[in-house]
Structure 1
Amino acid sequence: MTHALAVPFRNLASSILTAIALVGEPHPVAVTATLSEWKVELSERRIAPGVVTFTVTNAGSIPHALEVEGEGIEQETEVIQPGAHATLTLTLKPGTYEVYCPVGDDSHKKLGMDTRLKVQGGAEHGDAMSSGYSSTAMHEAHAMEATAPAIKVTGGGPVIQILPGPFPFPDSAAPILQAFGDEREGLESQVKNGPYSNNVAPTSGTFTFTAWDKGAVRDSVDGVAEFATQDGARWKLVLDRVQTKDVPHHPRFGGVIFGLYYHGVTQVHTPLVPTINSAVALWAFGHLYKNGALVTDNAMVHVMLLSHTRRDGDFAIACWDCSKNKIDELQLQILPGPGEPKFDAPGGFLFVNWEQSRSRKLAS
Structure 2
Amino acid sequence: MMHRHAVPSRNVAGALLAAVALAATPPRHRAPSAPAVVSAKLSEWKVELSEATIAAGPVTFTITNAGSIPHALEVEGERIERETPLIEPGATATLALTLKPGTYELYCPVGNDSHKKLGMETHLTVAGSGSAEAPGAVEYGTTALGGSPAPAAASVQAIRVTGGGPVIQILPGPFPFPDSAAPILQAFGDEREGLESQVKNGPYSNNVVRSRGTFAFTAWDEGAVRDSVDGVAEFATQDGAHWKLVIDRVQTKDVPHHPRFGGVILGLYYHGVTQVHTPLVPTINSAVAVWAFGHLYRNDVLVTDNAMVHVMLLSRTRRDGDFALACWDCSKNKIEELQLQILPGPGEPKFAAPGGFLFVNWEKSSSRKPAS
Does the alignment reach a TM-score above 0.5?
yes
Is 2:260 the counterpart of 1:252? yes
* Number of residues of Structure 1 aligned to a counterpart in Structure 2: 339
8 Å CA contact 1:242, 1:284 repeated in 2: yes
- 1:49 corresponds, among 56, 59, 67, to 56
8 Å CA contact 2:52, 2:144 repeated in 1: no
The 1:228–1:87 alpha-carbon spacing in structure 2 relative to 1, beyond 3 Å, is: same
Amino acid at match of 2:217: F
8 Å CA contact 1:32, 1:44 repeated in 2: yes
Partner of 1:299: 307
Residues 147-200 of structure 1: CA distance to partner in whole angstroms, max 9, x if unpaired?
Answer: 221111111000111111111111111121122122111111111110011111
> 1:123 offset after TM fit, Å?
5.1
Partner of 2:324: 316
Task: Provide the rounded CA distance (Å) in 2 between the counterparts of 1:28 and 1:134.
Answer: 21
Partner of 2:233: 225
Partner of 2:368: 360
Partner of 2:67: 60
Please tell me whether Structure 1 or Structure 2 has the larger radius of gyration of its CA atoms.
2
8 Å CA contact 2:51, 2:136 repeated in 1: no
8 Å CA contact 1:150, 1:363 repeated in 2: no
1:1-364 equivalence runs, <5 A: 25=32, 27-121=34-128, 125=133, 137=149, 140-142=151-153, 144=154, 147-362=155-370
Task: Provide the rounded CA distance (Å) in 1 between the counterparts of 2:236 and 2:288.
Answer: 24
> 1:132 offset after TM fit, Å?
5.0
In structure 1, stretches of 5+ residues that fail to align are 1-21
Secondary structure (helix, strand or coil) at the match of 1:190 reads: helix
Residues 215-274 of structure 1: CA distance to partner in whole angstroms, max 9, x if unpaired?
Answer: 111111111111111111111111111111121121221111111111111111111111
8 Å CA contact 2:318, 2:324 repeated in 1: yes
> 1:128 offset after TM fit, Å?
9.8
Secondary structure (helix, strand or coil) at the match of 1:112 reads: coil
Partner of 1:13: none
Secondary structure (helix, strand or coil) at the match of 1:322 reads: coil
Residues 14-63 of structure 1: CA distance to partner in whole angstroms, max 9, x if unpaired?
Answer: xxxxxxxx975263222111011121111122333222221100111111
8 Å CA contact 1:58, 1:81 repeated in 2: yes
- Farther off after superposition, 37-46 or 153-162: 37-46
- Farther off after superposition, 170-179 or 329-338: 170-179
Task: Provide the rounded CA distance (Å) in 1 between the counterparts of 2:148 and 2:284.
Answer: 37
Secondary structure (helix, strand or coil) at the match of 1:164 reads: coil
The 1:90–1:362 alpha-carbon spacing in structure 2 relative to 1, beyond 3 Å, is: farther
Secondary structure (helix, strand or coil) at the match of 2:341 reads: strand
> 1:68 offset after TM fit, Å?
0.6
The 1:120–1:193 alpha-carbon spacing in structure 2 relative to 1, beyond 3 Å, is: same
Partner of 2:4: none
Task: Provide the rounded CA distance (Å) in 2 between the counterparts of 1:176 and 1:267.
Answer: 7
Partner of 2:26: none
Secondary structure (helix, strand or coil) at the match of 1:306 reads: strand
* Higher share in helix: 1
8 Å CA contact 2:65, 2:88 repeated in 1: yes
Residues 45-87 of structure 1: CA distance to partner in whole angstroms, max 9, x if unpaired?
Answer: 2333222221100111111111011111100111111111111
- Farther off after superposition, 269-278 or 212-221: 212-221
Provide the alpha-carbon RMSD of the alignment. 2.3
TM-score by length of 2: 0.85
8 Å CA contact 2:75, 2:106 repeated in 1: yes
Task: Provide the rounded CA distance (Å) in 2 between the counterparts of 1:116 and 1:151.
Answer: 28
Task: Provide the rounded CA distance (Å) in 1 between the counterparts of 2:109 and 2:144.
Answer: 28
The 1:64–1:197 alpha-carbon spacing in structure 2 relative to 1, beyond 3 Å, is: same
> 1:289 offset after TM fit, Å?
1.3
Secondary structure (helix, strand or coil) at the match of 2:204 reads: coil
The 1:25–1:259 alpha-carbon spacing in structure 2 relative to 1, beyond 3 Å, is: same
8 Å CA contact 1:39, 1:112 repeated in 2: yes
8 Å CA contact 1:163, 1:199 repeated in 2: yes
